[in-house]
Amino acid sequence: MVSHIVGYPRMGPKRELKFALESFWDGKSSAEDLQKVSADLRKSIWKQMSDAGIKFIPSNTFSYYDQVLDTTAMLGAVPPRYGWNGGEIGFDVFFSMARGNASVPAMEMTKWFDTNYHFIVPELGPEVSFTYASHKAVNEYKEAKSLGVDTVPVLVGPVSYLLLSKPAKGVEKSFSLLSLLDKILPVYKEVISELKAAGASWIQLDEPTLVMDLDSHKLKAFTEAYSALESTLSGLNVLVETYFADIPAEAFKTLTSLKGVTAFGLDFVRGTKTLDLVKSEFPKDKYLFAGVVDGRNIWANDLASSLSTLESLEGIVGKDKLVVSTSCSLLHTAVDLVNETKLDDEIKSWLAFAAQKVVEVNALGKALAGQKDEQFFSANAAAQASRKSSPRVNNEAVQKAAAGLKGSEHRRATNVSARLDAQQKKLNLPILPTTTIGSFPQTIELRRVRREYKAKKITEEEYIKAIKEEIKKVVELQEELDIDVLVHGEPERNDMVEYFGEQLSGFAFTVNGWVQSYGSRCVKPPIIYGDVSRPKPMTVYWSSAAQSMTSRPMKGMLTGPVTILNWSFVRNDQPRFETCYQIALAIKDEVEDLEKAGINVIQIDEAALREGLPLRKSEQAFYLEWAVHSFRITNIGVQDTTQIHTHMCYSNFNDIIHSIIDMDADVITIENSRSDEKLLSVFREGVKYGAGIGPGVYDIHSPRIPSTEEIADRINKMLAVLEKNILWVNPDCGLKTRKYPEVKPALQAMVAAAKTLRTQLGSAK
């Protein structure tokens, strides 16, 4: 019986790493304190997998930020602005690249494929000198070995690393990143040689870009890279791991022909056509690591179905060459169901978090080896049957309403130009209007109030009073700063998706179901287990209260249906688009209630719309069609004078700009500054955008405070490609993760820059 885990969550069951990181960043604890917490977590993870009977246990999947940034550190590919002068890269340089510092901005952050996890994008060019500068992979292997656990060290593969990078500022955009392959391979050889010397018998190289639509030039790079590494890899068993989608036929041929490679990891959960590929051709004497346990969702595995798949594979590759695995790293799921004390028993029986998935992998491996745990399989079958037949899953009225959406595109009757004219007459905004994205800093006191209310330590009256006081403070600050369109700061919300899910039917919630998004940022995705509807208004009370405190426009703040879908653990018993349409109808009800309550500007965030884009081009058009349609459903019923905003962040939007236009929002605010204003290039290339648009003018994920001049320079770059009458001025994203001493001067600079440019444009407020 042989079993394998691709990777494991790092934050800890109670987010121990999150709190250790934030304490270190705030100067409240030492590097040694942070290292001790992380060492304890690694030890616990390795022991858990070892005790569960897993043979191939990963190491070097633990990270203080993300595995791509770890690889950048390993290669010594530090951009010059961080002042690194060689030697082993320490926390100061590492975290400056991730978060920026007082004098220089952070590197760009973007989504890891189609997940809500993020990575720091490497900045490369012909002048970069690569050198072995972080021994983390070897150190963690030795650490595990000293604890009696022989692990499989995991590295981001060299070709995927380059394909996930971007040309550094000042480097031609046409620069071939793959031309750097010969420069990075010597460092990989050093690392692999050290791992061999330390006693490693297996190594895992993650090459997830193989599931993308790659041209022959890119596929050839894999062949060249592994041929160059072949002599170094000799004496090791080498696993090349892929995940998140089917692997295309040409890429499959490339993968299975790589020199020096012993095993191939394939995703049989999202890769629905992978089984057919393996059946058609799989090399003899190679191992297949079959990812049959879903690393991206929290539903208990259908063990009988997975065992059937494994038995089919066993007939192709042979009993001794088949390894049971997860479909991808368990990083994308919650840590341990044992910590969930408030989920009811029925729903709990339908679920498996990372710790339970480790047990499932082991159980499948044992069953394949003829040691099937009949009791475990029987309980699993009963849970699968319970979920299919439970009356709480299906709501006939909701299904009927969603079915009634067919046959209409749900477009507003008036074009956006006419709507903007009607809205301007009502709102009377200056040119370059200023706004923020929604949230304001979540102070310790505010978190305490919410926590005590949930624990019933304060009354509802006390809670409402405290939240209203916080809203008043935020409103007064924005008025003091002279911001044009205000937000209420979202003090009643811990998380933008969780808040709505708690008020919608068909959702369940966890106490400790945290998942890492980036760095120390964790989210607690709701679980969509059934049909979705809105029993009552969700935000109208707070938005109305906020609007009553000011004469300026107050935005109603909602999360859009696609983002709620993509940031939840979604039911897997019906197509995702059907669930999305149900959520869209629920948000539509809320939009119309906000309008009736006198809210004239309503923001429906679709931060995760790009994130859900399928990795394969052949599947993208269908996704964009239903995702954009879902957004339009939410606001089809409002008057022309009601201004609909949306917001998007931390993805590459250039390739879906026409779908963004098709959303038909009146105003879109979109992340721009952290990605070196990459968004603006589509407008330079001639894309015409007639709606309001606010490309972000500063990065909110860094503590760095921008100057007025810097922001004015950014706005001028925008004015070079966008009309002044459609341009908005706003930060990249919400301000929840920042502190007030950072937020106030940054917003002061933003407003000052907007006013300066208004004067220069001859239209002072």
* Inter-axis angle of helices 249-256 and 216-233, nearest 10: 20
Query: Three-state secondary structure along 276-337?
Result: HHHHHCCCCCCEEEEEEECCCCCECCCHHHHHHHHHHHHHHHCHHHEEEEECCCHHHCCCCH
How far apart CA 175 and CA 173 sit, in angstroms, is 5
Cβ atoms of 662 and 625 within 8 Å: the answer is no
Q: State how beta strands 58-59 and 643-648 pair.
A: unpaired
Residue with tokens 């010597």: 186
Q: What are phi and psi of 630, to 5 degrees?
A: -60, -40
The DSSP output letter for 558 is: E
Any idea what DSSP says for residue 435?
Answer: B
Tokens representing 66 are 């993300």
Q: Is the dihedral of CA 412, 413, 416, 422 positive or negative?
A: negative
Sequence ranges of the binding site for L-methionine = 437-439, 490, 605
Task: Report the C-alpha gap between 474 and 471 in whole angstroms.
Answer: 5
The catalytic residue positions are 701
CB neighbours of residue 308 within 10 Å: 12
H helix runs in 117-163, sequence order: 136-146, 158-163
Residues 708, 709, 711, 713, Cα dihedral to 10°: 160
Beta bridge partners of 521: 518
Rg of the chain over all Cα atoms, to the nearest angstrom: 26
Please count the other Cβ atoms lying within 10 Å of the Cβ belonging to residue 500.
Answer: 26
In sequence order, the 6+-apart residues with CB closer than 8 A to the CB of 10 are 17, 41, 61, 62, 63, 331, 516
Strand 692-695 versus strand 667-670 pairing type: parallel
Q: What is the DSSP string of 216-262?
A: HHHHHHHHHHHHHHHHHHTTSEEEEE--SSPPPHHHHHHHHT-TT--
End-to-end Cα, the chain, rounded Å: 73
Cβ atoms of 80 and 29 within 8 Å: the answer is: no
Helices 16-25 and 91-99, interaxial angle, to 10°?
Answer: 100
Residue numbers in the known binding site for 5-methyltetrahydropteroyltri-L-glutamate are: 18, 116, 521-522, 567
Contacts of 42 (CB under 8 A, 6+ apart): 59, 62, 140, 143, 144
Q: Is residue 274 a contact partner of residue 267, using CB atoms and an 8 Å limit? A: yes
> How many angstroms separate the CA atoms of 493 and 442, rounded?
9
Residue 394 C-alpha from the chain's centroid:
29
Task: Specify whether the backbone of 310 is left (phi greater than 0), alpha (psi in -120 to 50) or beta.
Answer: alpha
Question: Under a CB-based contact definition with an 8 Å cutoff, are residues 433 and 485 in contact?
Answer: yes
Rounded to 10 deg, the angle between the 374-389 and 303-317 helix axes is 120
Q: What is the 3-state secondary structure (H, E, C) of 171-204?
A: CCCCCCHHHHHHHHHHHHHHHHHHHHHHCCCEEE
**Which residues are CB-contacts of 146 (< 8 A; sequence separation ≥ 6)?**
none
* Residues 250/219, Cβ–Cβ less than 8 Å: yes
CA-wise closest residue to 567 among 675, 650, 677, 653: 650
Count how many Cα atoms sit within 13 Å of the Cα of residue 527 in the half-sphere of its side chain. 25
